[in-house]
With several copies, the nearest count.
Chain A
Amino acid sequence: MNSPVYLDHAATTPVDPRVAAAMAGCLTADGVFGNPASSAHAHGEAAFERVEAARAAVAAAVGAEPDEVVFTSGATEADNLAIFGATAHSQPRGRHVITARTEHKAVLDPCRELERRGWQVTYLTPDGHGRVEPDRLAAALRADTVLVSLMHVNNEIGTVQDVAAFAAVCERHRGVRLHVDAAQSIGKTEFDFHACGADLVSLSAHKSYGPKGVGALLVSRRSGVRIEPRQFGGGQERGLRSGTVATHQVVGMAAAFTLVVAERPAEGVRLAALRERLWLGLEAHGGAVRNGAPEGTVPAILNVSFDGVEGESLLAAVAPRISVSTGSACTSASGDPSYVLRALGRDDRLAEASLRFGLGRSTSLDDVEAAIEAVGRALARLRRIGGACATAR
């Protein structure tokens, strides 16, 4: 059997060969392998310079200053650092946080943990397309609100939110801090740290053709936001995140971000066309419901619910031909229907019987046609086995 067509780029992307080459240059004895903290000698200095060049490149790619970049092991760590780090600092001023029901678990689970510690958390329900209306945010703000955490691009349906509007609301509300999970943004849509007005932004490399296991938290200097560190030790990253900085990882992140940002305009147009072809093809199979407004979502993500089939079987039936998922990689193992789609008002059956197509660099028109055909066959077969024609539709 041929290996299936990869259409799960929102879960993770292959590392760009140019990125892999840059990483390889920071590993072995003939490369820059020193410890960037070993400032006493040339091996350490060389690594330090690579790390700082990477920091500058990441900053440039996202419209930040180099000293606003705190490298982490990924967006999960960045989300945790932002949420616990910002709330630890502002605890005296209040113990209320606002987020949305459609956030990634790396935001929701820290919020749940805050609740266990006695904090109050408001979970906003977005509109049917996954957008939190700024007015709703404004209405939820309280005198004791210290942090708002709302994502930029949703990982399941690709909805792009108006972060600048959130920032304006927070700004008016005596400067409550805004954290934005932008793990899915870089290379998928435009993102500019300073322009968006957020205080804290989480990034991940592996959604943008960089390596897994590295990300960053952007910490706004202009806004003067303060966070408490969570990982203590050697004092790396200006004391905000101790632990040896992995040169090859941050170099990979920098190379990947630089490439995807440069290539995004053209790639966005290409993927948007492929996505619309994919949607038309899927729609023709009948009983398909598109999740997320076409104009308000990134071109790289298409999320569709299918009537008359059970979700797990749909996924299993298409798996030999295409690699897709029902939702985020983190929740697809649990088999629960997507909490994101349920938050948008889909019933359990439709939420469960949904596929997230994550288009990416390698995606060709052939891949899209193969996906349309594979889903069509699976639907026909499962609907027949399920007696859907006779009973359900």
Chain B
Amino acid sequence: MRYSALTRRYFEAAPCAGTLEGPGILSGAAGSRSLGTWVRFDLRVAGAANRPAVIVEARFLAFGCPHTIAVAAWVAEQAAGHPVSAELPQPVDALRRSFDVPVEKLGRLLVVEDAWRAAAARK
């Protein structure tokens, strides 16, 4: 497997890997280990009245291929400062291109998206 420099970097550093604890954490997961891909996001949000909730901090866990881990890590890293939303910081298709993910792995990015949505939906 050849990985792009970006994929390799985020796979190796895996920033924001881990979980968050405490009250008000939004958590969501998708996929299944036994099928080879599982992703979970934990989001700490802060929201004043009349203002949409903003992500203060994000963490991820991922059991999956290097692309899955890299993309989940990137998403978690980017999330801070953004409002909570069902949309990923970048659409799946754009992520696929940025991380040079082979088409046959598209399904795995959808697991990342599903996990994100599950977390955001807790809001």
Contacts and interface: CB of A to CB of B under 8 A. Distances in A.
Nearest to A385: B17
A381 interface: yes
A286 interface: no
A317 B11 CA distance: 8
A284 interface: no
Contacts of B36: 310, 348-349, 352
Contacts of B97: none
A390 B18 CA distance: 11
Interface string B78-106: 00000000000000000000000000000
Interface residues of A, number: 25
Given A312-B65, A313-B11, A313-B66, A349 B33 contact: yes
Contact of A385 (B1, B34, B37, B61): B61
A315 B2 CA distance: 12
B4 interface: no
B40 interface: yes
Contacts of B17: 384-385
Contact of B63 (A317, A333, A347, A386): A386
B63 A392 contact: yes
Interface in B49-74: 61-66, 69
B40 A313 contact: no
A51 to B, nearest CB: 14
Contact of A310 (B2, B14, B19, B63): B63
Instruction: Output the residue of A40, A309, A313, A384 with the most chain B CB within 10 A.
Output: A313
Instruction: Output the residue of A316, A349, A391 with the most chain B CB within 10 A.
Output: A316
A39 B1 contact: yes
Contacts of B1: 39-40, 312, 315-316, 333, 335
A386 B61 contact: yes
19 contacts: A39-B2, A45-B2, A310-B63, A312-B66, A313-B11, A313-B65, A313-B66, A313-B69, A316-B1, A317-B11, A333-B1, A348-B36, A384-B18, A385-B14, A385-B62, A386-B33, A386-B62, A386-B64, A392-B33
Interface of A: 39-40, 45, 309-310, 312-313, 315-317, 333, 335, 347-349, 352, 381, 384-388, 390-392
